[in-house]
């Protein structure tokens, strides 16, 4: 299928450092969604991007959709221990979600 | 109900046993999805219902996997003759069916096949 590739797989940061995860596709995406999954938890929706070049912010989180709609990124400014978890991008196709492999973020206090 | 619920939360099965996993979607949600999440991986789509109709079952890995939603509400995912590679978290999600709506996930059922 048309996969979305996510990098890096793991990221370890010191509390207060910034964090970025990237999502890439070989084909043009109609939309991209981002989810957060805490350890032992389930995916929780964060945001959906649909427009070329779109940038959305949620407090310390900034989400971008590339101009060509083939990539997206999630940036967290000044990480906190509450940011720990795995961040997934996903594209919606035919109703279902196709997830990337996720980036696991650990934050050292 | 406040959200999607799933039962049991944990299931241990011996290889070859049959298991049934239940999902109660958010009341009134038309669409229901099942995903399989292996350790360290992203969720992978299994099947999708709109009301009682199973519109897409392309993700079911084999004919040992069967899902139903007979009354358009509760859904059951059944796995026959379980194998070790079936060990995973099985996530259920639901939404209103509108194309703009996000999916709301349940807590999942962690299946371990010994």
The 10s digit of each residue's pLDDT in A23-62 is 999 999 999 999 999 999 999 999 999 999 999 999 999 9
Considering only the beta carbons, identify the residue of B42, B102, B106 that sits closest to A45: B102
Residues of chain B with pLDDT under 50: none
Q: Burial of B99 by CB count in 10 Å (0-12 exposed, 13-18 middle, 19+ buried)?
A: exposed
For residue A96, pLDDT beyond 70: yes
pLDDT at B100: 76
Across the interface, of A97, A101, A102, the residue whose CB is closest to B103 is: A97
How high is the pLDDT of residue B1? 52
Query: Is B98 in CB contact (< 8 Å) with chain A?
Result: no
Question: CA–CA distance from A47 to each of A43, A85, A92, B46, B49 (Å)?
Answer: 12, 16, 13, 23, 24
Q: Which of residues 18-47 of A touch B (CB under 8 A)?
A: 33, 41-45
Whether pLDDT at A1 is above 80: no
Of all residues in chain B, the one with the smallest CA distance to A88 is B42
Q: Name, in order, each residue with C-beta under 8 angstroms of B16's C-beta and a sequence gap of 6 or more.
A: B81, B82
Asked if B102 lies within 8 A of A100 by C-beta distance, the reply is no
B108 CB-side CA count, 13 A = 22
Point out the residue among B41, B48, B56 whose CB comes nearest to the CB of A101: B41
Judge whether B31 is closer than 8 Å to chain A, CB to CB.
yes
**With contact defined as beta carbons under 8 Å apart, do B33 and B92 qualify?**
yes
A102 and B42: CB-CB below 8 Å? yes
């Amino acid at each position: 299928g048309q996969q979305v590739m996510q990098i890096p797989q793991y990221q370890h940061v010191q509390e207060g450092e910034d964090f970025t995860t990237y999502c890439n596709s070989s084909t043009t995406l109609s939309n991209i969604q981002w989810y957060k999954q805490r350890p032992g938890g389930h995916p929780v929706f964060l945001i959906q991007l649909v427009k070329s070049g779109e940038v959305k912010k949620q407090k310390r989180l900034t989400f971008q959709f590339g101009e060509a709609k083939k990539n997206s990124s999630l940036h967290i400014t000044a990480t906190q221990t509450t940011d720990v978890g795995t961040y997934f991008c996903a594209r919606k196709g035919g109703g279902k979600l196709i997830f990337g492999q996720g980036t696991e973020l650990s934050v050292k206090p | 109900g406040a959200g999607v619920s799933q039962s049991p939360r944990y299931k241990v099965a011996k290889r070859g046993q049959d298991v049934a996993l239940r999902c109660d979607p958010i009341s009134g949600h038309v669409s229901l999805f099942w995903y399989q999440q292996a350790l360290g991986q992203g969720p992978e789509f299994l099947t999708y219902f709109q009301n009682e109709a199973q519109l897409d079952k392309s993700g079911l890995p084999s004919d040992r996997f069967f899902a139903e939603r007979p009354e358009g509400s509760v859904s059951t995912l059944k796995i026959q003759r379980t194998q070790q590679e079936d060990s995973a978290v099985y996530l259920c999600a639901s939404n209103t069916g509108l194309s703009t709506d996000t999916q709301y996930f349940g807590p999942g059922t962690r299946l371990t096949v010994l």
